[in-house]
């Protein structure tokens, strides 16, 4: 089986070395690129060969991890990024997911946590939506969240409610729940992605959170 290939962006050589050593002992993972700051990483894109996942540090000189994500978003580079940070801050977490991060881990995480996050991002595109919900449920957006009218029909709202369900339903399970084909579910997803500039399932959750559209955000 081909290894899961990884790029590490972190300004501490000892951290990069430690991650490489840890990943090599965890199973079928291989670090194929590494950079010591966001500017070097962005300048090198697109990487050849392209890794399956990018592990990005938050605290770096010049550009922090969220600013790197913003740059990727502006370039329309949709990469599988796992953000690592020592800053256990709800605002950073929210901003990271809003700008396209597929997962978030504190640097004190265990090897099991790291493996779980990488495998989830590779297999289903994101890491643990229930954890995201737990972290952002009480997040104060300081006036950014407004009761603005968002034009969604009843079926779109039903789809969005299932996306935000803490059972973390797959799109196939959502199709069964709505008595629709998977193609219809993908049509709803694509329509919301396009209309509101959303790029991931996590983005849909944050969209519902921002406008208080579905449980548990009402």
**Neighbouring residues of 26: CB distance < 8 A, sequence distance ≥ 6:** 111, 114, 115
> In the numeric block, which tokens belong to residue 157?
């709202």
pTM greater than 0.85 (yes/no): no
Q: Which of 54-68, 81-95, 106-120 has the lowest mean pLDDT?
A: 81-95
The C-alpha atoms of residue 33 and residue 15 are separated, in whole angstroms, by 14
Distances (CA, A) of 53 to 1, 10, 30, 154, 159: 17, 14, 10, 36, 28
> For the chain, what is the total number of helices (H) and then of strands (E)?
10, 5
Report d(CA 90, CA 141) in Å as an integer: 10
What would the pLDDT profile of 111-157 be if each residue is shown by its tens digit? Answer: 999 999 999 888 877 786 666 655 555 444 444 444 444 788 999 99
Domains of the chain: 4-127 (3.40.50.2300), 154-211 (1.10.10.10)
pLDDT above 50 (res 6): yes
Residue 185 CB contacts under 8 Å (≥ 6 apart), including other chains: 159, 171, 174, 175, 178
């Amino acid at each position: 089986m081909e290894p899961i290939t990884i790029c590490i962006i972190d300004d501490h050589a000892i951290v990069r070395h430690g991650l490489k050593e840890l990943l090599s002992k965890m199973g079928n993972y291989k670090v194929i690129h590494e950079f010591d700051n966001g500017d070097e990483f962005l300048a090198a894109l697109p990487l050849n060969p392209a890794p399956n996942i990018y592990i990005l540090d938050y605290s770096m000189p010049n550009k922090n991890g969220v600013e790197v994500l913003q740059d990727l978003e502006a370039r329309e580079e949709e990469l599988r990024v796992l953000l690592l940070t020592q800053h256990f801050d709800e605002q950073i977490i929210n901003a990271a997911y809003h700008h396209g991060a597929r997962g978030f881990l504190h640097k004190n995480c265990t090897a099991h946590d790291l493996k779980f996050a990488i495998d989830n991002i590779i297999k289903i595109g994101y890491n643990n939506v229930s954890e995201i919900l737990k972290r952002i449920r009480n997040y104060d957006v300081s006036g950014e969240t407004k009761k603005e009218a968002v034009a969604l029909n009843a079926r779109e709202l039903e789809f969005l409610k299932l996306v935000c369900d803490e059972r973390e339903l797959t799109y196939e399970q959502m199709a069964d729940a709505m008595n629709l084909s998977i193609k219809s579910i993908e049509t709803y997803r694509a329509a919301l992605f396009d209309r509101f500039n959303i790029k991931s399932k996590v983005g849909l959750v944050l969209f519902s959170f921002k406008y208080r559209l579905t449980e548990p955000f009402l």
